[in-house]
Amino acid sequence: HAILARATSAPRAATPTYAVFTAAWCPDCALFTPVLHNALAKANAAGLEADLLVCDVERTAYKTDPAYLYRADPALAVTDIPVVLRLDQIRARATASCSRLGQPAVLNVDKLLAFFEGSPGAANI
């Protein structure tokens, strides 16, 4: 709930807010980490600004509890990881949903960078 509170509070108007859901125990997340670093370096070089919240997913609760916080929250609805959500859209659109980039696209640096750049074709992959 703190994630949504952060995303929907009064941030810098033109700065997007992303939440990255990942975990040290997740093999796909291990593949994702260098992709994320590469995409962030390219975004930084291009002058893009964003607020990035990294959310660690706890293994036991995530694997065993269908009502797990990230999974059960209708605005987050994290069903698999790694995933990147654009949370500022909840505030901007006054909706309970947001764009997300999940697997396999999240493991592609160009698709992740396009998502950070706000390319229309990158949303909800």
pLDDT at 91: 56
Give the strand pairing for 17-22 and 83-86: antiparallel
pLDDT at 106: 94
Q: Give dist(CA 58, CA 23) in Å, integer.
A: 7
Q: Give dist(CA 117, CA 120) in Å, integer.
A: 9
pLDDT at 122: 46
pLDDT at 77: 84
pLDDT per position in the chain (125 positions), as tens? 565 565 555 555 567 888 899 999 999 999 999 999 999 999 999 998 888 889 899 999 888 998 888 888 877 888 899 999 988 766 554 455 678 899 999 999 999 999 998 864 444 43
pLDDT at 70: 84
Tokens of 116: 């950070």
